[in-house]
Structure 1
Amino acid sequence: MEYRPLGRTGFRVSSVSFGAWAIGGTWGDVDDKESLAALHRAVDRGVNFFDTADVYGDGRSERLLARLRRERREEIVVATKAGRRLSPHTAASYSEGNLTAFIERSLKNLETDALDLVQLHCPPTDVYYRPEVFDALDGLVKAGKIRFYGVSVERVEEALKAIEYPGVQSVQIIYNVLRQRPAELFFPEAKRRQVGVLARLPLSSGLLTGKMSAATRFAADDHRNFNREGAAFDKGETFSGVDYNLGLEVVEELRPLVPAGVSMGAWTMRWILMQDAVTCVIPGAKRPEQVDENASAADLPPVPQETMAKIREIYDRRLRPHVHQLW
């Protein structure tokens, strides 16, 4: 496993981390015993960074991570998120009182006195233009409730605005073979400011595993079934906002580029890690074997430059017109 610095926090975290959305819910059936086995396998493979949120299973994934900490001696960093419990989910609702209440709840779920990293959970764009929100987070740091904070964003615009606030240590953003825009402006600026970059949806909701087809069916409570057009939350969170059938076509165009004996999922995550501005990728997993496949990305050799150029050509030709300016 490779380890990279997380912003200016002093944490060095695994370049392949563990995304706990899937073990919380909205990805079909999930079993806590199997989820815990996956979490333990991640630690066995050198993963020391786990990303969750207070709304994943209404705290279910946070509580599983608390149990993992009880059962392991290894030091792990847990990043959670706050804000999506708001109803209505408006910029004005991101108040000091609401944020404090969310933090207190996560402290209880995670059975800790201070949260390692709290991220605003894809708030409305206007939140990034409200300095008082970030003042409230600074206050929570001073109070010892949280150690560091960052943001999880939908848009490059939001990422660039967020890192103007000196307390922001990390930005979580969608970045993968199907969504390449963050590398153009945001990554160089994040690197200049020493802000950690957490690449979420590295497998584009599973599309980039190469295991899906037009015949694949998803459970009724799986967001890949009900959120393709953004019915529940931002469309970009499901298959990176790419039309499912177009995504399948692009995967088939990418498949010949994958080295023999290497899984497409691991290979596409290795492509992400070619960016030195990226701290880690955050693939989800519900089973130990998925963890093994994800972790293998850190062991792969660099992607050749000619292959990098071919991937960019495919993106420019097939995907750029559909996604590049939307997020």
Structure 2
Amino acid sequence: MKNRKLGVNGFNIGEVGLGCWQLGADWGKDISRETALNILNESVKNGITFFDTADVYGNGKSETVIGEFLKTCDDPIRVATKFGRAGDAYPDKYSKDVLRKSVEGSLQRLGVESIDLLQLHCIPTHYLKEGRVFDWLRELQQEGLIKHFGASVETVEEGLICMQQEGLLSLQVIFNVFRQKLVTELFPQAEAKGVGIIVRLPLASGLLSGKFDKNTSFPENDHRNYNRNGDAFNVGETFAGLPFEKGLEFVDTIKNNILPDNLTMVQLALRWILDHQAVSCIIPGASSTKQVISNAEVSNIKALSPETHLALAQLYKSEIHSNIRGGY
């Protein structure tokens, strides 16, 4: 596993991390405690040193299982968690006390004295503009409850707002083959300010795995079912904001015209992201140890050719971009 530094003032982590939403069993197929611990253990065995979770994932279940794992792990693991989407805060009850209570709960569940990275969890834009929440984060940092702070955002505008704040270590963004405008509209500014980029949804909710077709169905409690059109939260968090059927068409186009013979769709999608130097880490989820191994191996795949990058950029500009829905 190759390492990258998270932000100019941050820490080194494996360039492939682990997204831990699924460990909270908020949606889709339930992942048992035993399976979750196996996934975390296999991640570390394969050089993954960065776990991304949130207080709201399974109402603390994801943090709890990570905390249990950390007690038995001697490897240096960095854990990022989030604040801002739980019911006691979202959408309009943000305060210093609510933030502190959330952080204290995360510390207890994770079993640590200080959180490596606390991220604002897609809070409403006007709170980011107002800026007081960043003052509260700086206070917690001075007290030692958090080591660094960042923000998970939904739009370029929100990312640019956050980058005006002193001490911001990182931004977590949706970035993949289907959502490319960040390459020119956000990444140059992040590099100039020394802000690290954490990429969530690198496979567009699995769409870019190439394993779905028009007959694929998802459980009723899976966001790929109930949020397909943004009925529950930002549509961009599901299938990168593309209509499912349209996304399938684009995947077929990539498979038939762009995908190199020696790569799978997953390898193409993840390697494409890592080829952007502004990116510090990608955080694909994994529901099995097999997926962990496959994701981690991408770190050792050589960069895609300029021709492949050009073909994907042209497909995005000519066909994909106009079909994306939601804030972007």
Normalising by structure 2, we get a TM-score of 0.96
How much is the aligned-residue C-alpha RMSD, in angstroms?
A: 1.3
Q: Which amino acid is 1:293 matched to?
A: S
Give the corresponding residue for 1:163: 163
Give the corresponding residue for 2:21: 21
After TM superposition, give the deviation of residue 93 of structure 1 in Å: 2.1
Do 1:80 and 1:119's aligned partners in 2 also have CA atoms closer than 8 Å? Answer: yes
Alpha-carbon distance change, 88 to 40 in structure 1, aligned in 2, over 3 angstroms: closer
1:307 equivalent in alignment to 2:308: yes
Rounded to whole Å, the distance in 1 between the matches of 2:88 and 2:109 is 21
After TM superposition, give the deviation of residue 88 of structure 1 in Å: 6.5
- For residues 8-157 of structure 1, the aligned pairs below 5 Å read 8-25=8-25, 26-87=27-88, 89-90=90-91, 92-157=92-157
Rounded to whole Å, the distance in 2 between the matches of 1:13 and 1:151 is 18
Give the corresponding residue for 2:233: 233
- For residues 243-258 of structure 1, the aligned pairs below 5 Å read 243-256=243-256, 257-258=258-259
Do 2:242 and 2:324's aligned partners in 1 also have CA atoms closer than 8 Å? Answer: yes
- For residues 180-259 of structure 1, the aligned pairs below 5 Å read 180-256=180-256, 257-259=258-260
Unaligned runs of 5+ in 2: none
Give the corresponding residue for 1:322: 323
Deviation digits for residues 42-74 of structure 1 (CA, Å, limit 9, x no counterpart): 100000000000111111111111122112110
Aligned length: 326
Do 2:121 and 2:151's aligned partners in 1 also have CA atoms closer than 8 Å? Answer: yes
Percent identity reads 39
Alpha-carbon distance change, 299 to 324 in structure 1, aligned in 2, over 3 angstroms: farther
Rounded to whole Å, the distance in 1 between the matches of 2:8 and 2:288 is 32
Normalising by structure 1, we get a TM-score of 0.97
Do 1:18 and 1:282's aligned partners in 2 also have CA atoms closer than 8 Å? Answer: yes
Rounded to whole Å, the distance in 1 between the matches of 2:263 and 2:187 is 27
Give the corresponding residue for 1:292: 293
Question: 3-state DSSP class of the match of 1:183?
Answer: helix
After TM superposition, give the deviation of residue 28 of structure 1 in Å: 2.4
Mean alpha-carbon deviation: is it higher for 274-283 or for 254-263?
A: 254-263
1:276 equivalent in alignment to 2:277: yes
Rounded to whole Å, the distance in 1 between the matches of 2:244 and 2:325 is 16
In the TM superposition, structure 1's runs of 4+ consecutive aligned residues that sit over 6 Å from their partners are none
Do 2:88 and 2:98's aligned partners in 1 also have CA atoms closer than 8 Å? Answer: no
Rounded to whole Å, the distance in 1 between the matches of 2:96 and 2:270 is 37
After TM superposition, give the deviation of residue 325 of structure 1 in Å: 8.3
Mean alpha-carbon deviation: is it higher for 260-269 or for 236-245?
A: 260-269
Do 2:174 and 2:202's aligned partners in 1 also have CA atoms closer than 8 Å? Answer: yes
After TM superposition, give the deviation of residue 187 of structure 1 in Å: 0.2
Alpha-carbon distance change, 263 to 10 in structure 1, aligned in 2, over 3 angstroms: same
After TM superposition, give the deviation of residue 261 of structure 1 in Å: 4.2
Rounded to whole Å, the distance in 2 between the matches of 1:58 and 1:212 is 29
